Every structure is written in structure tokens, then in C-alpha cells.
Amino acid sequence: MTLTLRGVGYRYAGATRPSLLDVDLDLPDGRVVGVTGASESGKTTLCLVASGLAPRTIGGQIRGRISLNGADLDAWPMHQLSQRIGIGFQNPATQMSQVAGTVFEEVAFGPMNLALPRDEVIERTWAALEALGIDGLAERDPQRLSGGQQQLVAIAGLLALRPDHLVLDEPTAQLDPAGTRLVGDAIARLAASGVSILVVEQKADLLAEVASEVVVLAGGRVALRGPSDEVLADPRLEELGVAAPSAVRIRRAAASAGVGGDRLEAALRG
Amino acid sequence: MAGDHALTEAAPAGRDIPSSIGRPGPSAFHRLNPLTKATLATVTAVAAVVIGGLIGPVVLVGVAVIAPAMAAGVLTRLVRLALLLALPIALSAFLVNLFFFPGGQRVLFSIGPIVATAEGLGFALEILARIMAISGAITLFYLTTRPADLVVDLERRGVSPRVAFVANASVQTVPAMVERASQITAAQRARGLDTEGSLWRRVRGVVPIVGPVILGSIAEVEERTMALEARGFTRPGRRTLLWAPPDNRRQSTARWALLLGLVALVVARVAGFAP
């Protein structure tokens, strides 16, 4: 299944100007597409639009076409769409249902809402927990986890719905380095297992690690797009408000100092 | 589907829910069905208001609050929490009735122009007993029942998942807001806000804390709503339940008996057969 955006624009209810303009994007099966850009560049709006939450949940006006394998997203009610596209947000705490006493029940919340058979709910929940390596947290209170662990629980809750695509809006934005590492590893693991992910991130190092393609937004439009190594090394990236990945900055610093060569390249490639 | 493929490979077969979910409580009272405990709390609270005099509410506290609390092993916590819950209203109701009971004749003592009467003391004790019965019944319920258990039980009995969710989320929101308030207090203190010292300083220090707590909670509502939508919460119809608290015919009979007893008490009171 391919999630496709063609000429998509979006204006929030009550806003005078659109937050997204003429965006084209493809998210085929098994690909990880990174989205980055300065603040107010339209990244979160793109996530809301791509997941079908905008405009149906928050209102506003949309232009262009968003489809899954050629069928308009409008064709599905939200509870059905949630089984095709899962969306995760920045703040792990707001993604907790607040009614689950254990991580297991938290992750099972989505499948339970879909009224799936009990055995299937249980099987999906264990599978999602294990896919993210957090089955050991199953009996913990989700409110008492670290931010990074809560974000993993939130992602597991989406995976339990078995969506074709995941849309993650700055999943590490509120996390410390340890939490960022947990979530980064989980995204890399999901990507390696073939899950399609549209991930919005300010942390270019993370994008360099997990994304095969990167889109840079500026003023609601696509300013740069291409293979991640090319886009993240593009000199225009910093003009667009995004810090280049560490490896790119080290390479540049080394080049300007006249240092370099095969050994440096080998070290940077890990 | 890519997601399916990745997850199906990892899926273990034949596993059940973790053993801690729905684990029976430590005492026989804990293990009662949540609806039975909720019925007992409701009937006790309403009966405390309906029954007149002092003896009735005191007996009610003994039978429906203290005895079960002892059986459940939560008496100490219950007394502490129930007092904490009821103290402000109990104290003010006691003092108002002690000193300002209309038509009191037998003077006990006076403080300046304010006079405490025996009739006022009697009525104040009646009110106090009622307040303690109500707060004790509610506290006993919350000390022996997880809110989520009641919600699951209500859902099983056909209550709308949305109604059950709102009820449960409302209860769960309180500790979340308390934690948020403590974080904001710490942050504001770190920026020099004075929340200690004189009463005026404390009151002045509350404003920069209450604002962010309330506004932050409101700002989160939209994201919470979207997160719920993204997890199929708006799907019409019933949800799957992973477990349900056990119930039996004896408890069902007891619930009906409690409710019928309450109705009889109200009728007797209205008809003038009860004190």
C-alpha cells in the first residue's frame, strides 16, 4: 500500500494563511521518509493531514488529494483509517489513555476499541510489545514510566492496530538523550522489519540513521527532497533552519582544516 | 501489509494477559464485585442523609464503614483519609450549628456575643455523624476498589464505553494534575517565585501556578482527543474486554436488598414512621 499526497494544501480553521501548500509525497511499503524543517514550517500539519486527522477531527480546509492505494482517505471513518495509518505525537503523556492500569492494557486499548476477539487483542498486544522490546514493562503503570518508555508504549499502541503506515510527529522532541536513543532504536528496528514510517524530526542524526528519503519543509512547501544522505549533506539545509547531522559537520570541519581521507570516512560510516 | 508482516513474525502463541491485571484484592471485602461496593457506598451515603437523629448515622458508620474497613484491613488509612476529606466541611458545619442554631435555649458557654447552646451541640453532632458516614463510605470504596475495575464491570453490564471512559478518566486526571502542579511549582520556584512565608505571599504565589496548570490541561485536550481518535475510540458499539471482575447471585441479591432497604427507609421517613 502506498500513501500518496498530491498537491495537498491545508489551512487551519480561523487562520488567514495556509500552513501547507502544494505538497506531493509518496510513502510506499517498507520505506522510511523523514520530514524536517524549521519551526512553523508545516511539519505537524503534514502529519495531521497525512494521517487523516485534519480536517476531519480539527476542522480547517484542505486542498489536493490524499489516497491509500488510489482510494481517498475520506472513504474511511477514523476508526477504520486508524488500522491503516497510525499517528504518534510529540508528547508521550498525552498519548496515554489515562484509563489503563498497566502497559499491557494501554497497548491493548486500540484493539479493544475495535472490538476484535479477545485472543486477537492479546496476541496483537504481546506482538507489539515484543516488536519494540518492551514486553518486560507489560505489568508496569504507564503513568510511572520515563518519557522515552512512554513514547515506546504509545508507538506499541499504534502498532497493535496493525497499520500499514506509521506517522510519527517529532517522537523524540520531549525526550532526553537516553529516551531519544530508545525511540531511535525502536524506529530503526521497525524500519528494518519493513514498517513504512513517515517521521518528522528536528534531530538530523536520527534521520540520517533511519530515513531512506528526506523532505525539508519551509513555509509549508517542500524546499528540498531526495535520498537522505544527499539532502542531509546539502549546504542549503542550515539556511532552512535545520542543523546538519554530526557526521556532515565533522566532515566539513575536517575538510576546512585540511584533514580527511579514507580513515576519517571509515570512522564516520561506523 | 508491511506492518502485519513484521508483527506477525514476532507474535507469540497462546499467551494470556499478565497475571497482575484483574488480580484479586488482599481481603474478602476487596474481592467483592466493584458494583457491590459502589452500591454499599451509595446506600450508606444516602441513608446517612435520610436517617434522622444521632444514633442512626453513628450505627451506620459502625456497620457500613468501620466494620468493613476493619475486615479489609484499611481502617487506619480510612480514618486518616476520611478526616482529611471531610475535615474542612465538618468543622465549619459543626461550628456554625454549635453557635448559630436557631432557637437554642440551654446555653453551654459563650465567646463574646456568640453563644453555644445544647440544642446546637446536639444538631452539630448529628451533622458531623452524617458527614463522617458519607466521607467514610466514599473513602472505603476508593481504598478497596480500583476505578478501572468499576469501569470494566459497568462496561460489561452495558454502560457505554464513552460514559465509562469519561468517568474513569476524570478520576485519573486528578493525580495527573497534582503531578503537573508540583512540576510547575518546582519550575516557578526555580525562577524565584516565593510560595512560602505569609498567607498573602502564599496566595500571591498560587496564581502563576494555577494558570499554567489549567491552561496546560486545556491545551492538551486537543492532542489527547486526536490520540484517542487515532486508536479507534470513536468506533460505535461495544469494546472488547480483557477481563471482568467476578460476580455471583449472592452479591446481586445483596445489592438489590440494599437498594430496596434504602427505598423502604426513604418511604418510612417520608411517611413519618422513621425518626
Residues B140 and B160 in one domain: no
8 Å CB contact of B240 and A139: no
Mean pLDDT for chain B?
85
Q: Which of B4, B7, B145, B182 to mutate against chain A (most A CBs within 10 Å)? A: B7
Name the band, by pLDDT with cuts 50, 70 and 90, for residue B274. Answer: low
Which chain A residue shows the shortest CA-CA distance from B230?
A: A82
Q: Distance between CA A228 and CA A128 in Å, rounded?
A: 28
Name the band, by pLDDT with cuts 50, 70 and 90, for residue A136. Answer: very high
From the list A30, A110, A162, which residue is nearest B7 (CB)? A162
Which residues does chain A have within 8 Å of residue B9's beta carbon, measured at their own beta carbons? 193
Q: What type of residue is A117?
A: P
B5 domain-assigned = no
Residues B140 and B257 in one domain: yes
B12 domain-assigned = no
Residues B141 and B155 in one domain: no
Q: What type of residue is B84?
A: L
B236 domain-assigned = no
Residues B31 and B139 in one domain: yes
Which residues constitute the domain of residue B180?
Answer: 147-230
8 Å CB contact of A104 and B151: no
* CA within 13 Å, CB half, A127: 24
| Chain A closest-CA separation from residue B75 CA (Å) | 25
β-pair partners for A168: A88, A199
Residues B211 and B152 in one domain: yes
pLDDT at B8: 39
B173 domain-assigned = yes
Q: Is B162 on the interface with A (CB under 8 A)?
A: no
From the list B9, B223, B230, which residue is nearest A91 (CB)? B223
| Chain A closest-CA separation from residue B74 CA (Å) | 21
8 Å CB contact of A123 and B11: yes
Q: Is A1 on the interface with B (CB under 8 A)?
A: yes
B222 domain-assigned = yes
B-proximal residues of A, 166-225, CB under 8 Å: 166, 190, 193-196
| Chain B closest-CA separation from residue A235 CA (Å) | 34
| Chain B closest-CA separation from residue A263 CA (Å) | 37
B244 domain-assigned = no
Rg (CA), chain A: 19
- Poorest-pLDDT segment among A35-49, A114-128, A177-191: A177-191
pLDDT at A197: 94
Which chain B residue shows the shortest CA-CA distance from A110?
A: B231
Cα dist. A21→A67, A140, B8 in Å? 17, 43, 38
**How large is the greatest C-alpha to C-alpha distance in chain A, in angstroms?**
64
Residues B138 and B156 in one domain: no
pLDDT at A128: 93
C-beta atoms surrounding A165 within 10 Å: 26
Residues B153 and B84 in one domain: no
pLDDT in tens, A57-112: 889 999 999 998 888 988 888 888 999 999 999 888 889 988 888 999 999 999 99
Residues B98 and B172 in one domain: no
Q: Is B191 on the interface with A (CB under 8 A)?
A: no
Contact A196, A27 (CB under 8 A): yes
B219 domain-assigned = yes
Residues B129 and B253 in one domain: yes
C-beta atoms surrounding B107 within 10 Å: 11
Which residues does chain B have within 8 Å of residue A154's beta carbon, measured at their own beta carbons? 227
Residues B267 and B223 in one domain: no
Look at chain B and report how many structural domains it folds into: 2
Which chain B residue shows the shortest CA-CA distance from A137?
A: B18
Q: What is the 3-state secondary structure (H, E, C) of B172-186?
A: HHHHHHHHHHHHHHH
Closest residue by Cα to residue A160 from A119, A196, A131, A193: A131
8 Å CB contact of B1 and A162: yes
B190 domain-assigned = yes
Q: Is A57 on the interface with B (CB under 8 A)?
A: yes
Q: Which of A47, A104, A112 to mutate against chain B (most B CBs within 10 Å)? A: A112
| 3-state SS assignment for residue B59 | helix
From the list A97, A105, A194, which residue is nearest B5 (CB)? A194
Residues B58 and B141 in one domain: yes
> Per-residue pLDDT averaged across B184-189, rounded?
81
| Chain B closest-CA separation from residue A110 CA (Å) | 5
pLDDT at B149: 87
pLDDT in tens, A7-55: 999 999 999 999 999 999 999 888 999 999 999 999 999 999 999 998 9
Residues B91 and B224 in one domain: no
- Poorest-pLDDT segment among A205-214, B115-124, B127-136, B195-204: B195-204
